[in-house]
Amino acid sequence: MGYSFSRYTYTGGAALNDVDIEKKGSVGISESGHALLVSLVNDSEKPFEDCPFDSIVEAFRFAFALGYSSGNRVKKEGKKHTIAPRQFVVTEYTEILRDEIEKHGGSLGSVISEYAETGCEIITDHVEENNQILSLI
């Protein structure tokens, strides 16, 4: 048998789990962000448009990644559109957001949503400059 080490030794040996992050929350996006994400979904009737994603969830993940990589979060304002929780599982992002949530509070869903909102702003600015979406990669 081997030694039993905690998966989370960087936190002083205490084993943190999803229960320690009290609120999972839901993910959502502002009305303008939702309209942008919908416009990025591939439409077979418009094969020449810059719509590289197969679903809103894929576009949302991309927006989250852009926002997360920028290190900025924007709170949603106004009406919110929920992203399907069966397709976007917030607990899959626990590890990369753990320190931030422990330090600043909030739910997984709200932090993810704020990063995605930032990503939508980045995408919007990029599109307004007549650039291809995938050139953001």
Q: What is the pLDDT of residues 76-134, one digit of tens each?
A: 778 889 988 888 888 999 999 999 898 888 899 999 999 999 999 999 999 999 999 88
Tell me if 24 is assigned to some domain. Answer: yes
Tell me if 43 is assigned to some domain. Answer: yes
Tell me if 11 is assigned to some domain. Answer: no
Give the amino acid at 52. Answer: P
DSSP string, 42-65: --TT-TTSS--BSSHHHHHHHHHH
Helix (H, G, I), strand (E, B) or coil at 41: strand
Band (pLDDT 50/70/90 cuts) for residue 137 is confident
Q: Number of folded domains in the chain?
A: 1
**DSSP label at 21?**
S
Tell me if 112 is assigned to some domain. Answer: yes
Residue 19: pLDDT over 80: no
Mean pLDDT across 49-77: 92
Tell me if 50 is assigned to some domain. Answer: yes
Percent of the chain with pLDDT over 90: 54
pTM for this predicted structure: 0.80
Tell me if 121 is assigned to some domain. Answer: yes
Domain extent, residue 59, equals: 20-136
Query: What stretch of H or E contains 96?
Result: helix 94-104
Largest CA distance in the chain: 60
